């Protein structure tokens, strides 16, 4: 690929784990019929997609946690952020282990 886009197996593994966990959380939240006098539906989905849902809500765009396309988009964007974070972390560790040589 190009130099501006990092290719990282570590970042890919982190993003895949995040996406699987986020999908599991959303499915579990949608299928659970628990809740007595208080129901916090959508809270787990909001927490698992917080890097996307919180800024969007501050801008006035509220995600509908019952709609699958909204959740899929939020999970996809968060997985991309996790990938970039993991790739950056792997690059930093590689740089530190290699030393600051040109």
Q: pLDDT tens-digit profile of 2-20?
A: 566 668 889 999 999 999 9
Cα(72)–Cα(23) distance, rounded to whole angstroms?
Answer: 8
Sequence ranges of the domains in the chain: 9-98
Q: Per-residue pLDDT tens for 38-73?
A: 667 778 888 888 888 888 888 888 878 788 888 898
What would the two tokens of residue 25 be? 């959380």
Q: Is the pLDDT of residue 76 over 50?
A: yes
User: Residue 1 pLDDT > 80, yes or no?
Assistant: no
Q: Give dist(CA 95, CA 52) in Å, integer.
A: 30
Q: Which two tokens stand for residue 13?
A: 């593994």
Contacts of 5 (CB under 8 A, 6+ apart): none
């Amino acid at each position: 690929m190009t130099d501006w886009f990092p290719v990282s197996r570590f970042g890919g593994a982190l993003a895949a784990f995040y996406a699987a966990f986020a999908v599991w959380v959303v499915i579990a939240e949608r299928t659970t019929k628990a809740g007595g006098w208080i129901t916090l539906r959508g809270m787990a989905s909001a927490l698992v997609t917080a890097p996307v849902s919180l800024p969007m809500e501050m801008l006035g765009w509220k995600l509908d946690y019952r709609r699958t396309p909204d959740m899929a988009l939020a999970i996809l964007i968060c997985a991309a952020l996790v990938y970039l974070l993991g790739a950056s972390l792997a690059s930093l560790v590689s740089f530190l282990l290699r030393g600051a040589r040109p």
